[in-house]
Amino acid sequence: KGTVVLAATPIGNTADASARLVTLLEQADIVAAEDTRRLYALANRLGVHVGGRVVANHDHNERGKADMLLDEVAAGATVVVVSDAGMPTINDPGLAIVRRAIERNLPVTCAPGPSAVLDALALSGLPTDRFCYEGFLPRKHAERMQHLRALRAERRTIVFYETLHRIADSMDDLLAVFGPDRPMALCRELTKSYEQIRRGSIAQIRQSVIDEPPHGEMVLVIGGASEQEAARALGIAVDRQTGDGAGD
């Protein structure tokens, strides 16, 4: 039997590519890439010759591709799965092949490396002992508000991915739901030469987004609710359910 290998790629700094990634790209029988042009661009920057077959494995064809790739694994091939940046499966393709490999009892392993979640969390200065990853917030305001309200009592540090198009609206909604004082960090262009971490309260970061709109890729890290905030948020939720008027 061969193996599926999920391989992390750099999120902005080519030098973060691991020695293992380089070997895998050189030696894989098949590289399943989210975007084949981006894979070749990375290989060029690394000075790597991709020896095996390269196939596209993006969100739209992933499920269909998984069985075809796993037939090759069953026949002895090493299939390396890469996304455009960071860890495959983390808001990127890869999960379909992992699930099918588990179902088919075929080996799957990981060559770990950069991922914006952990990079941002570690740099945020907020508690790292317990955290939750929320991916991208919903695009629509009403859904975003609902999603954030459901997190009001969350005690763990919360990590969101965000885009420059929505950051201003998201900051308004974060302020409305979590209030002005929660500590947070806006981490942008991680590992790149213009890396910038803005740390402060939600109100301060919102103001900084208005004064100096952030460009590039970004991650938001929000401090979890204090015990009092969580109790208050849960109290309100209980009130709504029971209608008994207890709480504040």
Q: Interface residues with ligand SAM (CB under 6 A)?
A: 11-12, 83, 85-87, 90-92, 115-117, 161-163, 187-192, 217-219
CB of 85 to ligand SAM, least distance (A): 5
Task: State the residue number with the nearest CB to ligand SAM.
Answer: 86
- Please, which residue, 23 or 91, has the CB nearer to ligand SAM? 91
Packing angle of the helix pair 167-178, 202-211 (nearest 10 deg): 160
Q: Which of 107, 109, 116 is nearest to 84 (CA)?
A: 116
In the complex, least distance from residue 11 CB atom to ligand SAM, rounded to whole angstroms: 4
For ligand SAM, give the closer residue by CB, 151 or 186.
186
Cβ closest to ligand SAM, residue 148 vs residue 219 = 219
- Shortest distance, CB of residue 24 to ligand SAM, whole angstroms? 17
User: Using CA atoms, how far apart are residues 51 and 33, in angstroms rounded to an integer?
Assistant: 14
The nearest distance, CB 199 to ligand SAM, in angstroms, is 15
Give the Cβ contact number of residue 166 at 10 Å. Answer: 16
Least spacing, CB of residue 195 vs ligand SAM, in Å? 7
**Across the strands, what pairs with 219?**
161, 187
The full DSSP string for 108-121 is EEEE----HHHHHH
The smaller minimum CB distance to ligand SAM, of residues 1 and 60, is found at 60
User: Which one, 3 or 91, has the nearer CB to ligand SAM?
Assistant: 91
Q: Do 89 and 95 contact (CB within 8 A), yes or no?
A: yes
Q: How far is the CB of 42 from ligand SAM (least distance, A)?
A: 14
From 134, 147, 213, select the one nearest 176 (Cα to Cα).
Answer: 147
Yes or no: say if 157 and 126 are a contact pair by the CB < 8 Å rule.
yes
Q: How far apart are CA 28 and CA 99, in angstroms?
A: 21
CA distance 24 to 6: 10
Q: Do 110 and 16 contact (CB within 8 A), yes or no? A: no
Which CB atom, from 22 or from 110, has the smaller least distance to ligand SAM? 110
